[in-house]
Amino acid sequence: MSLPDHVQDELASAFGARFSVKAADLSHYAGSETFHRARLPDAVIWPETTAEVSFILSLCNANRIPVIGWGTGTSLEGHALAIHGGITLDLSRMAAILEVRPEDMLAVVQPGVTREALNADLRATGLFFPVDPGANASLGGMASTRASGTTAVRYGTMRDNVLALEAVLADGRIIRAGSRAAKSSAGYDLTALLVGSEGTLAIITELVLRLQGQPEDVAAAVCAFDTLEHAVDCVTATIQSGIPMARIEFVDAETARAFNHYAGTTLPEKPHLLVEFHGSGESVRGDAARFGEIAGEFGGLGFDWASTAEERARLWKMRHGAYPACLSLRPGATALVTDICVPMSELAGAVTAARDDIREAGLLGPILGHVGDGNFHATILLDPENAEELAAAKRVATRMAERAIAVGGTISGEHGIGLGKRDLMALQHGEAGGVMAAIKRALDPNGIMNPGKLIPG
Amino acid sequence: MSLPDHVQDELASAFGARFSVKAADLSHYAGSETFHRARLPDAVIWPETTAEVSFILSLCNANRIPVIGWGTGTSLEGHALAIHGGITLDLSRMAAILEVRPEDMLAVVQPGVTREALNADLRATGLFFPVDPGANASLGGMASTRASGTTAVRYGTMRDNVLALEAVLADGRIIRAGSRAAKSSAGYDLTALLVGSEGTLAIITELVLRLQGQPEDVAAAVCAFDTLEHAVDCVTATIQSGIPMARIEFVDAETARAFNHYAGTTLPEKPHLLVEFHGSGESVRGDAARFGEIAGEFGGLGFDWASTAEERARLWKMRHGAYPACLSLRPGATALVTDICVPMSELAGAVTAARDDIREAGLLGPILGHVGDGNFHATILLDPENAEELAAAKRVATRMAERAIAVGGTISGEHGIGLGKRDLMALQHGEAGGVMAAIKRALDPNGIMNPGKLIPG
């Protein structure tokens, strides 16, 4: 399929050089950070205003042309691939920070603003936007996939930090959901419905984000453990003790090896916890001391404190580089990244079962995670040309997902469904999958919004 | 309208004494705590299981009979009134606490469990359910209206504290939304869609609730101010300072007078703040001291600390009794209760404008609120027989709502829409109201679920 001539003419005349059907421009949109690949879209447009997005959608809706939003391309489940062709909307030119209101602790941004760009802009205000998935993703993409990351244990996910939004529906209607007030009970929570809807219901064109005060003091440390079980049990005990963690991250021995290999660190090749505390100097010291006692009970092998901002930046840069670090363990590899999230009491069991499954399948799959939320990832390394390996990895991932569901957890803590987990949606949601499909039909009757994603097939 | 004979026969035979069409039984369901009144429903049923709710809904759906959920009848916007007749489902017999998992900090309850019953049950676990709207409401009702109350500034609203739920759709299908994990990005957030949907999409039959650790220490105090502006400005400064408040409540001079009149207190007839801090002994003392300094800057007239649990219980009982206390200022009165919520920087302006409007309209309307969220209520006292007074009160309420919207706020912080704010939905939501209506039609095509509520008319 390619675009009908009249559509192509209309878009070319409306957008000029911001519309392209050239393979050289399109090839950027056919890949992803993981094993997911797809055909090229039929065209790409770089819109600059909400009105332009509305124009594109109503034209595409009238002509039954798929529209797929694109932020920075850092999603892990193939969300932004044009598997049924159509037009990719690259939102990177809608990157204005429209308003910052320190007195109301909120910022209004266009969807193409990245989290690092927003935080650079906020530096002087004493505020920051806390959601941190690692990648320098666009805030629109983070909202669309309901992203979270290392700080969710303290500050919540995109669900908790998007106060309001503007979005364009399939038929071009522009709506606003939510308000700038701290809470609202005025009708259906359309903000929460659109956050995490992965571009299948609307294109988000503006976000009102909740900001946080920059902590007076921060302390971060890394601590090794002899076994995975001890590290994970330490997390559970810490969370139950009520110590306010800003971050509590787990990496297994293989991930430590990957860091050493990729980032030149000299960590012992053992499981580690990486922790961070935010607060006043006194509270941070108290929290750190209490955590130290708990870690000691589980055989924690001493702390390496990152006391300066530069040391902390290095620590979290290492953590955020985990994905390329893991890939570097097997040159030329791509990966399937799992993402289950379970109740805390099930975490140790879920992590050890995953490790055993990966080992038994003969795969290499370092494990790490935002374990304060019960969320962890295995980065299963794959030869991109080896279909059997991919099939084996998918079997392991499916077993992990089934186990997560069996203990009341979820198949996706933060990466979303996209292409990669669609087959598991029925297992997770049963009849509720039909409700999602009914909502999709009601808002996108022609099925043009990111078709083939999220909704159970 | 009354029920078709075959429906009445089928329900009578299925439910026996738990089905009634007697006026003596039905009259309980025709009133509300505020000025909203309605005709009797055609019947009431007291279901005991999810399967019974499913049976009732599929029968009513096939016969186009409205179904209205009823918790404890404490909503303020007429949510549970059978304005188009039909069957009231009184969920008070679905009141089992099904499971408490301290290690996962969650509880699983039926919708008829009240918040006080749950917290009584939790006492020995060291955990509690924090959302506190004042009334001893049912948790199903609180979820349906997206309730919050005095503690939302610290612990969030029902949006933040319902992890998962079971619900029955109009056609009798039983669905589960959410999971027991701390976060999820697995598809549309149906939990958030149903929380706050006021029984217009489904009947909630089970809730998984997030629990909190009981604070080690609690400190609460009341402090008077010379003017409303000083009290509200003190709140804004406190919130911006980042002091972690568990509660920060405002009452105006008229409310203080109402407490003295109704509860026998001896407060100065001035504006007051009521505050509470949760934490360790040390952190609570530090927070209280920092708040004391800020209050001093705004002319706070000294603190009356409630240092024992009994004194605190008395303090919050007084606060929670504000509604009857205000009513007692005018014997025989009913009330219209406003509920706007605005960004913090707009709070002082919104409160003073509301006070001036009420005064100019010649009405009596004490003001109080959960001002840490930017949310406040005027309880406008009305002679139930005086239509002109009601019309004047509605004009004042509409002006407040319009002002809230103009500054980016919401027409309802926590009471919901029900009957009372339906006319304002278009003003608040514009095109997004059409999206709500489309979702309603998709899930309830026959319009049997609490018809005439929430959705813009």
Residue A186 at interface with chain B, using a CB cutoff of 8 Å: yes
Single out the residue of A333, A391, A433, A347 nearest to residue A153, CA to CA.
Answer: A347
Asked if the Cβ–Cβ distance from A410 to B342 is below 8 Å, we say: no
Is the pLDDT confidence value at B310 over 80? yes
Buried residues in A312-336 as b, exposed as e (16+ CB within 10 A): beebbebbbbbbebbbbbeeebbbb
Asked if the Cβ–Cβ distance from B187 to A435 is below 8 Å, we say: no
Interface of B with A in 122-181 (CB under 8 A): 145-148, 152-153, 156-157, 159-160, 169, 173-177, 179-181
Asked if the Cβ–Cβ distance from B147 to A185 is below 8 Å, we say: yes
Q: Which of A106, A174, A183 comes nearest B413 by C-beta?
A: A183
**Domain of residue B255, residue span:** 217-319
Return the pLDDT at B240. Answer: 80
Domain boundary among A34, A62, A92: A92
Based on the domain organization, do A372 and A286 belong to the same domain? no
Mean pLDDT of B50-79: 97
Structure tokens at A14: 């409306």
Based on the domain organization, do A105 and A155 belong to the same domain? yes
DSSP string across B407-432: TT-BS-SSS--TTTTGGGHHHHHTHH
Asked if the Cβ–Cβ distance from A408 to B179 is below 8 Å, we say: yes
Domain boundary among B213, B233, B259: B213
* Residue B405 φ then ψ, to 5°: -65, -40
Q: Which of B188, B413, B421 comes nearest A181 by C-beta?
A: B413
Beta bridge partners of A166: A176, A206
Asked if the Cβ–Cβ distance from A439 to B439 is below 8 Å, we say: yes
Q: How confident is the model at residue B241 (pLDDT cuts 50, 70, 90)?
A: confident
Asked if the Cβ–Cβ distance from B193 to A193 is below 8 Å, we say: yes
**A454 lies in a domain?**
no
Q: Which residues in chain B are closer than 8 Å to A199, comparing Cβ atoms?
A: none
Quote the DSSP letter at residue B384.
Answer: T
Based on the domain organization, do B197 and B234 belong to the same domain? no
Based on the domain organization, do B168 and B102 belong to the same domain? yes
Q: Which of A148, A188, A408 comes nearest B196 by C-beta?
A: A188
Q: What is the CATH number of the domain that holds B367?
A: 3.30.70.2740
Distance of alpha carbon A326 from alpha carbon A191, whole angstroms: 35
Structure tokens at A419: 């292409």
Based on the domain organization, do A110 and A74 belong to the same domain? no
Distance of alpha carbon B455 from alpha carbon A312, whole angstroms: 50
User: Quick one: closest CA in A to B165, which residue?
Assistant: A432
Q: Which residues in chain A are closer than 8 Å to B416, comparing Cβ atoms?
A: 185-186
Based on the domain organization, do A204 and A109 belong to the same domain? yes
Distance of alpha carbon B188 from alpha carbon A21, whole angstroms: 32
Radius of gyration of chain B (CA): 22
Asked if the Cβ–Cβ distance from A185 to B417 is below 8 Å, we say: yes
Work out the angle between the directed axes of helices A228-241 and A281-297 (0-180°, nearest 10).
140
Instruction: Please identify which residue in the block is written with the tokens 């300072």.
Output: B241
Residue B289 at interface with chain A, using a CB cutoff of 8 Å: no
Based on the domain organization, do B87 and B173 belong to the same domain? no
Return the pLDDT at B179. Answer: 98
Distance of alpha carbon B104 from alpha carbon A340, whole angstroms: 16
Return the pLDDT at A1. Answer: 58
Is the pLDDT confidence value at B1 over 70? no
Return the pLDDT at A55. Answer: 98
Pairing of strands B367-370, B375-382: antiparallel
Q: Which are the contacts of B426, defined by CB distance < 8 A and separation ≥ 6?
A: B433, B456
Q: Which are the contacts of A414, defined by CB distance < 8 A and separation ≥ 6?
A: A133, A145, A146, A147, A148, A149, A152, A157, A339, A341, A370, A375, B183, B185
Based on the domain organization, do A185 and A222 belong to the same domain? no
Do A74 and A134 contact (CB within 8 A), yes or no? no
Distance of alpha carbon B292 from alpha carbon B285, whole angstroms: 10
Residue A413 at interface with chain B, using a CB cutoff of 8 Å: yes
Looking at per-residue confidence, does B423 or A456 come out higher? B423
Interface of A with B in 206-265 (CB under 8 A): 213, 236, 240, 242
When divided into structural domains, chain B yields a total of 4
Q: What is the CATH number of the domain that holds B288?
A: 3.30.70.2190
Pairing of strands A67-70, A87-90: parallel
Q: Tens place of pLDDT for every residue, chain A, 457 residues? A: 589 999 999 999 999 999 999 999 999 999 988 999 999 999 999 999 999 999 999 999 999 999 999 999 999 999 999 999 999 999 999 999 999 999 999 999 999 999 999 999 999 999 999 999 999 999 999 999 999 999 999 999 999 999 999 999 999 999 999 999 999 999 999 999 999 999 999 999 999 999 999 998 999 999 999 999 999 899 988 888 888 899 999 999 999 999 999 999 999 999 999 999 998 878 888 889 999 999 999 999 888 888 899 999 999 999 999 999 999 999 999 999 999 999 999 999 999 999 999 999 999 999 999 999 999 999 999 999 999 999 999 999 999 999 999 999 999 999 999 999 999 999 999 999 999 999 999 999 999 999 999 998 7
Percentage of chain B surpassing pLDDT 90? 91
Residue A108 at interface with chain B, using a CB cutoff of 8 Å: no
Structure tokens at A369: 């995670």
Q: Which residues in chain A are closer than 8 Å to B145, comparing Cβ atoms?
A: 185
Q: How confident is the model at residue B189 (pLDDT cuts 50, 70, 90)?
A: very high
Return the pLDDT at A138. Answer: 98
Return the pLDDT at B415. Answer: 97
Q: Which residues in chain B are closer than 8 Å to A152, comparing Cβ atoms?
A: 182-183
- Cα→Cα distances A292→A151, A282, A316, Å: 20, 15, 20
Q: What is the CATH number of the domain that holds A184?
A: 3.30.465.10
* Residue A370 φ then ψ, to 5°: -90, 70
Mean pLDDT of B143-163: 97
**What does the mean pLDDT of chain B come to?**
95
Single out the residue of B69, B116, B83, B78 nearest to residue B97, CA to CA.
Answer: B116
Distance of alpha carbon A259 from alpha carbon A319, whole angstroms: 8
Return the pLDDT at A283. Answer: 83
Quote the DSSP letter at residue A421.
Answer: T
Asked if ipTM goes beyond 0.90, one says yes
Based on the domain organization, do B125 and B161 belong to the same domain? yes
**Residue A167 CB neighbour total at 10 angstroms:** 29
Asked if the Cβ–Cβ distance from B192 to A159 is below 8 Å, we say: yes
**A37 lies in a domain?**
yes
**B109 lies in a domain?**
yes
Tally of helices (H runs) and strands (E runs) in chain A: 17, 18
Based on the domain organization, do A187 and A151 belong to the same domain? yes
Residue A402 at interface with chain B, using a CB cutoff of 8 Å: no
**B442 lies in a domain?**
no
**A51 lies in a domain?**
yes
Q: Which of B175, B213, B411 comes nearest A432 by C-beta?
A: B175
Domain boundary among B38, B64, B92: B92
Q: Which residues in chain B are closer than 8 Å to A192, comparing Cβ atoms?
A: 159, 189, 192-193
Chain A: give the shortest CA distance to residue B310, in Å.
Answer: 25
Distance of alpha carbon A184 from alpha carbon A180, whole angstroms: 9
**A110 lies in a domain?**
yes
Do A221 and A288 contact (CB within 8 A), yes or no? yes
Asked if the Cβ–Cβ distance from A343 to B106 is below 8 Å, we say: yes
Interface of A with B in 334-353 (CB under 8 A): 341-345
